[in-house]
Amino acid sequence: MLKKVIYVALFVSDQDKALDYYTNVIGLERRWSVPLPGGTSWVTVGVKGQDFELVLWPGTPSSAKPVEGIIPATYTIETEDCRKAFETLKSRGVKFEPPEVLERSWGLAAMFQDPDGNRLQLRQGSV
């Protein structure tokens, strides 16, 4: 029956700018960039070596209800070293909110928004 989730749409205002951000700033790899009828393109990015892809699709992100005063991330990227990834992305201009790595009972997290307001987080399991 069902096998696996392979794509999730990430709504962006400009596909070219989003592709640049997710590949050159965040460090994901470009998978597809194929023109479609109507002036848009099928643009995807993903973590090297992983099948799952984010589709950079024209549109507007929605906002979520805050939990403990923090709006939760819609997309989570696992990392082996959350603090190191936090510092690397911060040095590339990524703005984290809150501005530090959060320690949770299940591990570490650092949340940020892309230029279109999509909420993402870095996550490191039990430390």
Residue span(s) of the chain under CATH 3.10.180.10 come to 7-58, 75-125
For residue 35, cis peptide bond before it (omega within 30 degrees of 0): no
- CA gap 111, 95 in Å, rounded: 9
pLDDT tens digits for 106-116?
A: 999 999 999 99
Residue 127: pLDDT band with limits 50, 70, 90: low
Sign of the dihedral defined by the CA atoms of residues 106, 104, 107, 21, in that order:
positive
Percent of the chain with pLDDT over 70: 98
Phi, psi of 15 (to 5 degrees): -65, -40
Structurally, at CATH architecture level, domain 75-125 sits in Roll (3.10)
Q: Which numeric CATH code is attached to 7-58?
A: 3.10.180.10
Q: What is the number of alpha carbons within 13 Å of residue 46 lying toward its C-beta? A: 14
**Cα-Cα end-to-end distance for the chain:** 36
Whether 100 shows a pLDDT value over 80: the answer reads: yes
- Top-confidence residue, 69 or 122: 122
